[in-house]
Chains A and B, each alone.
Chain A
Amino acid sequence: MPIALFWFLAAVSVISALGVVLQRNPIHCLLALIVTLLAIAVMFIGEDAVVVGFLQAIVYGGAIMVLFLFVIWLLNLGVEVGPSGHLALKLFGTIAVAAMTAELMAFVLPPHLQVKFAGHAAGYGSIDSLSQTLFSEYLVAFEVTSVLLLVAVVGAVALARRSSAAEIEQHAADTARKAQRVS
């Protein structure tokens, strides 16, 4: 990956990650997160992990973030007004994160982490080699993941629906009462 591209993508992802954390409007946070995810996906492609990079764009950017968007719509979240949270927590949080970052950088930046990089074999990161490894060494994990996805779908539907007819009636009555109060 050319170094100019790396610096551009790094700047984009760090700035939009800060945007996720600092914005007041949840939809702006979501948009910033999508930009971060796409920047990271392009970085994957730059590191020759082509299939996984596109999968990141498809799965994260195209599906999970749409799920977040739907939940924000459903809960009708607006801009957060006023200060939120305790100042002490924010202060201690920032100091702790700064300390953790310093420690991580001290571990990662020195040259002892350099690995001899001789270029990739042809077909590295292609769908052939990914599926070879996935279906031979990691087959059990693959099967278990499919069961996990099924369980997650069933669980999400079971959690999010209104369970009984009584609850549906109650919700309808609540909404009608609220509308009456407003009008």
Chain B
Amino acid sequence: MTIELIVGAIEAILMILIGLHLAVFLLYFERKGSALIQDRVGANRASFTGLGKRLGLPNLGIINTLIADPIKLFTKEDFVPEGADHFLHGLAPFVALFPVLITFVVIPFGDTITLGGRTFGLQAANLNAAALYLLATIGIGVYGVALGGWASNNRWALLGGIRATAQMISYEIAMGLAIIAIIMTYGSLDLQEMVRMQGGVWFGWLPRWGIFVQPLAFILLLTAGIAESKRVPFDLPEGESELILGYMLEYSGGKQAAFMLTDLAEQALVAMLLVTFFFGGWQVPWLYRDGFHLPGGAIVAIAPLLVSIAGIVAFLVKVVMVCLFMGLIRWTLPRFRYDQLMKLGWKILVPLGLANILITAFIVVVSGGAH
């Protein structure tokens, strides 16, 4: 009993750390990766005694984005604007960050691993109703932004906060509808079950990933997820040309770092959800518990420990690829106007989601059972 508790705690901490590290990677990608996409140099000023330049290495911007920027953010003076509510002003960034971090623990990142004769499941919290837990934490995530905008005693921040809240609750509905269709397809609310059902192949070679079963739900969840994490093209709440920094306006130093981290961590979370629901989670194509069963009929036997580790690596690779895809969307599309955003959320995504549920229900009933 205690060893399972300890292992669960270690897995939970591991997942949260993976989430935070992905967020930091996305931050790096936002500086240097965007420079690559936009054909410019990016951040290259900070260097450690010019060592890299003397050795002729290209400036990867690591010291700039990953060392200098965080030091700057955490050592800035932290002030609360005059007339603002001190308690709410301090509370808001952490109320924003908390729901995102606790959602990382229900995502399965591997099948099972057998160490020292005991078998552990590679999911920090094995909830039966994990999909509902996702919707609950995404719903709670609205409050951090709302309180941040209100507690700043600044009408531009309040406007950004109101826009952010309205956007988040509108796209929560689209997200919920997409998740309902996925739940109907797999017949279970448990995320580990859903990933397990995505093993196996069709026609002998096509892996049974969710995206082939529910392509419309993939597009819905992708759009709604990017909108929930307030990334471009949905980043009107932080509209840089209109509201300066929107609801984060009166925050500096560590609190602004917490808000930025929430944004990026939520993008990483949406990427993990997409991988879990649509890209097979930790399933490597054609890899079963005892080894590879290749389409030609060849069977390559692999040790069980390597199989588990291959699952974990596959999960991370897939998540990073989806994150990069979302970054590509970010640096390609311009920002939506507010009425376009609301029209997309309510008039296009919600009817599409409902139609998707109807079609899925029909197919599930006709084919007599889930999947």
Contact with B along A15-42 (1 / 0, CB 8 A): 0000000000101100100100010010
Q: Mark B55-99, 1 if CB is under 8 A from A, else 0.
A: 000000000000000000000000000000101100000000000
- Does A54 lie within 8 Å of B143, measured CB to CB? no
Contact with A along B177-190 (1 / 0, CB 8 A): 00000000000010
- Inter-chain contact B129/A57, CB cutoff 8 Å: no
Decide: A73 and B150 in contact? CB cutoff 8 A: yes
Q: Size range of the interface on B?
A: 20 to 34
Does any Cβ of A come within 8 Å of B369's Cβ?
no
- B124, CB-defined interface residue at 8 Å: no
Tell me whether B162 and A62 are in contact (CB under 8 A). Answer: no
Instruction: Identify B169's interface contact among A27, A31, A63, CB under 8 A.
Output: A63
Q: Is the CB of B135 within 8 A of A69?
A: no
B132 engages A62 (CB within 8 Å): no
The reply on B165 being an interface residue by CB < 8 A is yes
Q: How far is the CA of A127 from the CA of B87 in the complex (A)?
A: 39
Q: How far is the CB of A1 from chain B (nearest CB, A)?
A: 16
CB-CB < 8 A to B189: which residues of A?
127
Alpha-carbon separation in the docked complex, A57 to B142 (Å):
13
| Closest CB in chain B relative to A3 CB, distance in Å | 17
Question: B287 at the A/B interface (Cβ < 8 Å)?
Answer: no
Determine the residue in chain A with the shortest Cβ distance to B189.
A127
Instruction: Tell me which of B133, B136, B143 contacts A34 (CB under 8 A).
Output: B143
Q: Is the CB–CB distance between B150 and A27 below 8 Å?
A: yes
A126 interface residue, CB < 8 Å from B? yes
- Set A27, A62, A69: member contacting B172, Cβ < 8 A: A62
B355 interface residue (CB < 8 Å to A): no
Contact digits for A45-81, partner B, Cβ 8 Å, 1 yes 0 no: 0000011001101100111001001100100000000
In angstroms, how far is the closest chain A Cβ from the Cβ of B296?
41
A58 pairs with B150, CB closer than 8 A: no
Asked if residues A27 and B88 are in contact (CB atoms below 8 Å), the reply is yes
Instruction: Tell me which residues across on chain A come within 8 A of B147, comparing CB atoms.
Output: 27, 31
A62-B142, A69-B146 in contact; A127/B136 too (CB < 8 A)?
Answer: no
- 7 residue pairs, one from A and one from B, having the closest CB atoms: A62-B139, A54-B132, A57-B136, A58-B136, A50-B129, A54-B136, A58-B139
25 contacts between A and B (CB under 8 A): A34-B143, A38-B140, A50-B129, A54-B132, A54-B133, A54-B135, A54-B136, A55-B132, A57-B139, A61-B139, A61-B140, A62-B138, A62-B172, A63-B139, A66-B142, A66-B146, A66-B165, A66-B169, A69-B143, A69-B146, A69-B165, A70-B165, A73-B158, A126-B128, A126-B129
Interfacial residues, chain B to chain A (CB-CB below 8 A): 85, 87-88, 128-129, 132-133, 135-136, 138-140, 142-143, 146-147, 150, 158, 162, 165, 169, 172, 189
